[in-house]
Amino acid sequence: MSDCDAETLATTLARYGLELSGRQADLLDRYCRLLWDWNAKLNLTRHTDYDKFVSRDLVDSREISCLLEPGQTVLDVGTGGGVPGIVLAILRPDLRVSLCESVAKKARAVEEIVRALELPLTVHHDRAEKVVESRRFDVLVARAVGPLWKICKWFQPHWDKFGCLLAVKGPRWIEERGEARHRGLLRPVELRKAATYRMPGTESESVILRLCVKPREKAAGD
């Protein structure tokens, strides 16, 4: 259960100036409580109160949602407790969202949460690079799953099998980009900053990076 029962989701949303529909707020509140209940058994999240959920998980998910086109197919890479995938599905019911989690216990927990919320999401108990081998997605989203070089290494043979990857990163993203370049993992990839935003209550700036395979002719001359 939440570490901060005195506060509600509604009061936290109001404090941060965020507006949601009644259905969205209800589903997110139920999601939080289900997640925190499971978190007592498994390590799914460190954000166990409404303030952390809204200022971190919800803010990141909202920023991602603004970059997605209507009806796109989305795969949440290493979903953990369901962020951003479940939150995206609640904010943008037009999207076709799938969740991917390689850790069996976490995948089962997320399946139970999705079932309880009655959301039309598919949960894959597998590594994301295996999932994209047999299924096509418009967008992959990656948040808190590893440094940029590691993400690029996972998908190195698969960039042509999905539209693009959106990676949420903090202030060290430039160093991470440098390391990925040093390892030669950005050669087939175009990397652009898709969004920049301040995390509420901090001086830290977050970014969402868009990684897409280079056009064939550009890659050939790299």
Q: What is the CATH number of the domain that holds 92?
A: 3.40.50.150
Task: Give the pLDDT confidence of 69-104 residue by residue, as tens digits.
Answer: 999 999 999 999 999 999 999 999 999 999 999 999
pTM of the model as a whole:
0.93
Whose structure tokens read 């409580």? 33
Does a structural domain hold residue 104?
yes
Does a structural domain hold residue 31?
no
Report residue 18's pLDDT band, with 50, 70 and 90 as the boundaries: very high
Does a structural domain hold residue 57?
no
Closest among 141, 152, 125 to 67, alpha carbons compared: 141
Does a structural domain hold residue 33?
no
Does a structural domain hold residue 131?
yes
Does a structural domain hold residue 161?
yes
Domain that holds residue 128: 70-220
Does a structural domain hold residue 9?
no
Q: Rounded to whole angstroms, how far apart are CA atoms 12 and 21?
A: 15
Does a structural domain hold residue 106?
yes
The pLDDT value given to residue 78: 96
The pLDDT value given to residue 6: 62
> How many structural domains compose the chain?
1
